[in-house]
Amino acid sequence: MNAVLIAIVVIPLVSTIVTWWTPLQASRVVTVASGIAVFVLSLTLVPSATSHTFLAAGPALRADALSVVFLVPTTFLYATTAIFSVGYLHPPSGDAGKRYTRHFYAGLNAFCWAMAVAPIVNGLALLWVAIEVTTVVSALLVAIDDTDGATEAAWKYVLLASLGLGIALLATIVMYYAGTRVFGSSYDLSYPQLLAEAHRFPKDVVRLADILAVVGFGTKMGLVPVHTWLPDAHSEAPTPISALLSGALLATSFYAILRFFQVSMRCLGPTYPRNVLLAFGLASLVLAALYLLSQRDLKRLLAYSSIEHMGILAIGMSFSAPIAIVGVLLHVIAHGTAKGTAFFGAGSVVRKFKTKDLLRIRGGVALLPWSGPILVLAVLGLSAMPPFGIFRSEFLIVSGGLSDPHDAVAAILVVLVTLAFFGLSWFTTETMLTPAPAMLTARLGRGETSRFIVVAMVLGLVALTVIGVHVPGQLSDLLHHAASELEVTR
């Protein structure tokens, strides 16, 4: 019985209930405390997940190295987003404002709860339920601003994500069907059971389940061509929610795909599951790289960068070299921290300039002495510049790809990532570094909108730099351990 796992499930749930009932001041404290506590708890799982094959609490909770790899960035974003939100939300005015902040904080905690639970549940059925809950909560959070844009985005999101989850449920059902050959008509889809017997499943059925899972969960992960909700939802949601959607939710959906990948690898061998991911990954990377060159909206720019990075993850999984898989898992962590930090910066800029239009934002670095430069650094980090984490992870993925027999894919990857780099860094650096017209400077003044925003961004940047400069030994062990869990074919 692992008490830490239970605490990770209970703490955010309790803070969801508490924040629904308490006044704003208390909600802030509770949310920040809960975020930090859950993050620290998930860090304590890192050494034990590498020394044991898995940790468990009852039949429903189970964490192995792969689970912890996804748990750590999610809970890190929970903590930093909670801090950021304190600075980002206006102090409420009137009853409507109070209701808004109450809904916001309860929703934030519930959303993070579902995302923290998804990687530590035992089995495909419960995993699907957790991801379903993330959709339910986050759709309401996207709609919370109640504007034309927000409702349109929320409608597209709830419709497409729910359809995707319908397909994902079909994948789960088909996988269950595959298992009935071995386990009889009533069993649960727990991982140890599935992985141990997957080689006896009928191959055609598992093929169908695998591709349905990639399409279904891929809709939530933002893989092209089922990504269309993503830029809208990311740009119209309140910025703290954008950061969570992009940094944590997409990764959680990728985790679900990896669980199906794991079973498919053991049943079908490596070729089929890798090729499926390669096709979707390439499509995502091509489209995102092209869209990045023509974006004029700061938050949509970051959203397309998310599609780009999800494409990189999918392509990385198609490489056979173990080093590429380690790179993919490190990329999940690095992308989460970098994208969270970049969205926090975007939130600070939007708050200051009252627009998301890149053509109307000028002199961000001068007017925002802290969050401006950190946003530029985070965007450079997202474009895989050293010394940041994404440089290291993409380097591992590409070097794994070059040792692959099909090294052309690695070459295409490098070209497209370079294209994306131009789009992403050109517009943001131009916006942030061009001096602001004197009138704008006079009107807006120099200075940060909130200290809390700066604290959240500094934390993100420090984490991103640490994993870029030197991956701590225990984290490195964890990544290798998780990669070896993904590679076993029989």
Interacting residues toward another protein by CB under 8 A: 125-126, 128-129, 132-133, 135-136, 139-140, 143, 146-149, 151-156, 158-159, 162-163, 165-167, 169-170, 172-173, 176-177, 180, 185-189, 202, 204-205, 208, 231-232, 235-236, 291, 294-295, 297, 300
Contacts with 89 (C-beta within 8 Å, 6 or more apart), sequence order: 101, 104, 238
Name 197's Cβ contacts closer than 8 Å, sequence gap at least 6.
179, 182, 183
d(CA 277, CA 257): 9
Peptide bond into 225 cis (omega under 30): yes
Distance from C-alpha of 388 to C-alpha of 469, rounded to nearest angstrom: 7
Q: Residue 152 or 430: which CB sits closer to another protein? A: 152
Phi and psi at 61, nearest 5°, equal: -110, 135
CB of 294 to another protein, least distance (A): 7
Cβ 60 to another protein, closest distance in Å?
9
Instruction: State how far the Cα of 333 lies from the Cα of 182, in Å rounded to an integer.
Output: 36
**Token pair belonging to 418:** 């370079």
Shortest distance (Å) from residue 185 CB to another protein: 5
Of 121 and 378, the one with the shorter C-beta distance to another protein is 121
- C-beta closer to another protein: residue 6 or 133: 133
- Identify which of residues 157 and 343 has a Cβ nearer to another protein in the complex: 157
Q: Report the C-alpha gap between 273 and 268 in whole angstroms.
A: 8
Beta carbon nearer to another protein, 130 or 479: 130
- Min CB(331)–another protein separation in Å: 26
Cβ atoms < 10 Å from Cβ of 310: 29
To the nearest 10°, report the CA torsion of 9, 259, 210, 305.
80
Burial of 433 by CB count in 10 Å (0-12 exposed, 13-18 middle, 19+ buried)? middle
Find the shortest distance in angstroms from Cβ 166 to another protein.
5
29 vs 32, 86, 248, CA distance in Å? 5, 9, 22
Q: Cβ of residue 300: shortest distance to another protein, in angstroms?
A: 7
DSSP state of 246: I
Q: How far apart are CA 83 and CA 36, in angstroms?
A: 9
Q: What residue spans of 121-202 are helical by DSSP H?
A: 124-143, 148-183, 191-197
State the nearest-atom distance from the C-beta of 125 to another protein, in Å.
5
Give the residue with the Cβ less far from another protein, 149 or 437. 149
| CA end-to-end span of the chain | 29
Closest CB to another protein among 152 and 407?
Answer: 152
Considering the complex, state which of residue 204 and residue 407 has its C-beta at the smaller distance from another protein. Answer: 204
Q: How many residues appear in the chain?
A: 490
Give the containing element (helix H, strand E) for 451. helix 451-469
Using alpha carbons, select from 146, 99, 79 the residue that is nearest to residue 340.
Answer: 79
CA distance 402 to 404: 5
Q: How far does CA 245 lie from the centroid of its chain? A: 6
Nearer to another protein, 67 or 135 (CB): 135
Q: How far is the CB of 296 from another protein (least distance, A)?
A: 8
Minimal distance in Å, beta carbon 287 to another protein?
12
Shortest Cβ distance from residue 427 to another protein (Å)?
14
- Toward another protein, which CB reaches closer, 159 or 469? 159
